[in-house]
A and B are shown apart, each in its own frame.
Chain A
Amino acid sequence: MKKLLIVLVALTMLAAFTVPVFSGGQGETGGAKKDLVIGKIPITMEANYHQAHVKHLISYAKEQYGAEVTVIDGAFSSDVAMSAVETFIAQGVDGILLHSIDEKVIDSMVKESHRADIPIVTFYIPTASRSVPHLQINEAETSFQMGVAAAKKWNEWYPGDQIYIGVVDYLAVEIVQKHRTGPFIAGVLSVDPTAQVVSKLEGSASVNKAMEAMQDMLQAHPEVNIVYGANADHALGALAALENAGRGKAVDGKCLTEIVVGTDGTEGELLKVYDPTCSMKITQGLQPAVNAKAEMDMLMKIINGQTPRDEWLELDTYDLFISYWDTPIEEAQEFIEYQYFSDVNLKEAIASK
């Protein structure tokens, strides 16, 4: 009996190995299909931006190119993304849109898929070897701009008041430093060199963690007057903590205790930004629609042989700078409806509060 079992398992294992050995070649990428299948790997599906991005991608691919998009969640892990690429190869997709954590790992993912002769376009984080077409959001500029704006406003409201920056950061994702936190702080400093960063606490992409971090920060550094959240969850969490502490207020757009700056430009944030009584006043609006289309087009160009599959080619998009003062609410309304499929009417929602 036991023997039999071992034999059985051995056989299954054996089968697993011999199949590839003997059936040879890359058989599974063949197989004629009517319409194109595109594999999309977002860095995570747990954030508004990426969900919207995927939605745009799916609809755009369909109507523009009649292409199917299948999505595998990158789950914030290089390892998962790597497996995802393999799965797409097994699936025999015609192209892969990749947004993963690490340049070097992306390199090897590209190798894998090229071995299976599937083109890849990278997004937001390029290949280390700069070997395939890449779509970059130029966030740093906007982040810097936000820093400048925040600092200017504060000095204008409270001249001579020392600026203390508190960041609910995303230390576990290094790119955030490069594109968001870093430039933002630089922006503030460019206006007021005396500004100090008093605290950087981890928000771990969780509203809850962000809130608790901010609560602690308020105990240690009640003096913070510029609060930066490195993504929507962090910004909203920080704001929640401020509100719980009786802060986070503004009088028709003039912040009382601090100015909160966010990232992503989700409806949740914009509701706060345009609320004259709330101290969150600035955010940068990522544009899922724009990015989704751009990366899809780039991939199709390769598939249609208009651009080479493995040559560096960078295309830049940008984030919208959105603030209570500089961006008319109608524009913002348009923005969330178009970019984030939002059905919220900012004006009414805010008025009803």
Chain B
Amino acid sequence: MNPIAAKAQEKKYFSFDFQIIVLVGVLALVMIISAVLTDKFFTYPNIMNVLQQVAMIMLTGSAATLLMISGNFDLSVGMVLAFTGVMHAFMSKNGIPTNVSMILSILIGSGFGLINGYLVAFLKITPVIATLGTMYAARGLAYIIAWVDGGANVTTGLPIDFEVFGRSMVGSVPVFLIIVFIIIAFFYFVYAKTNLSKYAFAIGGNNRAAVLSGVKVSMVILLLYLFVGTLTGFAGMTLASRMGTGAPNVGADFHFDVIVAIVLGGTSIYGGEGSFLGMILGALIVGFVGNALNLLDVMFFYQIVVKGLILLGAVLLTRKIKDTIG
């Protein structure tokens, strides 16, 4: 095992709630600074706007966190996001009732989850390779479908109700946002209260011991991948509906965004430890920073740099304060 990881776990006992505090601090800092820099930032519509933008990351993240806690991860989510979106558009365009096609595209997501899970849990392929493989596959398929449809993306001839789900509002809150947050809440419950999450921690902590304790390791991992796939499917479908088009080129670095959010949240990519709330906060931090920089019309080259610095800074900060306390 990696010496750094070893160090990390000695200190783990404090880390949990503690990580959260730091993250809340960072988030608050980001928001205050942004609010000072531009009055456009701290407005209801803008907050709403950022929530919408990070919703998909949180959605996938809420399952991917457990996955990473179990010591696995999924690089294919970005392209699965794109593929399900394209499929949703493609199906509803070709006569499948929109709501049916919504379900189907979510199931397609689940399908990819199953494949990933099977490759990793049963064929024992390193997650990186397995999910990289499905990533390429999903990407190719997304473009092929669009090509079959006769273009680089599936835009035209979509039924009128295609955009309903993504765009209808309850009062001033988008419907999809509510649903997404309900799902996230549900997965928080899964994380906080179910045996599944216990097993995820166990497997991530010590796979061999988990097997010897009779944990159905392979099944658990398969299930987690299934969840990730399904939620990604949902995200892709929603995104397509919001954009009013099925575009294969979305989600280019979605997988990194998700991983960044999770890791900012204090989940170790070696598994065995992690935090759901951390992931949520991590996503918010990334989201608000990006938003603030856009509001200030900062050239996007700088934005990439800042993204990297935030990532390092936040992780570093937690480590530092941890060290001084633990």
Asked if B218 is at the interface (CB within 8 A of a chain A CB), the reply is: no
Docked CA distance A80–B243 (Å): 30
**Contact assessment for A268 and B155 in the assembled complex, using a CB-CB cutoff below 8 Å:** yes
Docked CA distance A251–B174 (Å): 25
**Contact assessment for A220 and B242 in the assembled complex, using a CB-CB cutoff below 8 Å:** no
With an 8 Å Cβ cutoff, the count of chain B residues facing the other chain is 43
**Contact assessment for B252 and A51 in the assembled complex, using a CB-CB cutoff below 8 Å:** no
Docked CA distance A340–B167 (Å): 29
Q: Which among B290, B295, B301 has the greatest number of chain A C-beta atoms within 10 A?
A: B295
Known interface pairs A208-B251, A244-B167; A267-B155 also in contact (CB < 8 Å): yes
Asked if A204 is at the interface (CB within 8 A of a chain B CB), the reply is: yes
How many Å from the CB of A3 to the closest CB on chain B? 29
Known interface pairs A219-B40, A219-B43; A271-B252 also in contact (CB < 8 Å): no
Partner among B174, B239, B291 whose Cβ is within 8 Å of the Cβ of A216:
B291
Known interface pairs A215-B53, A219-B45; A201-B151 also in contact (CB < 8 Å): no
**Contact assessment for B247 and A206 in the assembled complex, using a CB-CB cutoff below 8 Å:** yes
Q: Interface size class for chain A?
A: 35 or more
Partner among A47, A201, A218, A244 whose Cβ is within 8 Å of the Cβ of B297:
A201
How many Å from the CB of A196 to the closest CB on chain B? 12
Asked if B157 is at the interface (CB within 8 A of a chain A CB), the reply is: yes
**Contact assessment for B157 and A344 in the assembled complex, using a CB-CB cutoff below 8 Å:** yes
How many Å from the CB of A80 to the closest CB on chain B? 15
Docked CA distance A211–B241 (Å): 13
How many Å from the CB of A167 to the closest CB on chain B? 11
How many Å from the CB of B34 to the closest CB on chain A? 11
Q: Which residues of A234-292 have CB atoms within 8 Å of chain B's CB atoms?
A: 236-237, 240, 243-244, 266-268, 271
How many Å from the CB of A295 to the closest CB on chain B? 20
Known interface pairs A200-B297, A211-B242, A215-B53; A47-B152 also in contact (CB < 8 Å): yes
Q: Which residues of A190-219 have CB atoms within 8 Å of chain B's CB atoms?
A: 198-202, 204-209, 211-213, 215-219
Asked if B160 is at the interface (CB within 8 A of a chain A CB), the reply is: yes
Partner among A46, A219, A271 whose Cβ is within 8 Å of the Cβ of B249:
A46
B interface list, Cβ under 8 A from A: 38, 40-41, 43, 45-46, 49, 52-53, 143, 147, 150-153, 155-157, 160, 163, 166-167, 174, 239, 242-245, 247-252, 290-291, 294-297, 299-301
> Can you spell out 9 A-B residue pairs with CB atoms less than 8 angstroms apart?
A50-B152, A171-B299, A209-B250, A215-B49, A219-B40, A220-B38, A236-B245, A243-B163, A340-B151
8 shortest A-B CB distances, which residue pairs? A216-B294, A268-B155, A208-B250, A202-B300, A220-B295, A207-B247, A219-B46, A48-B152
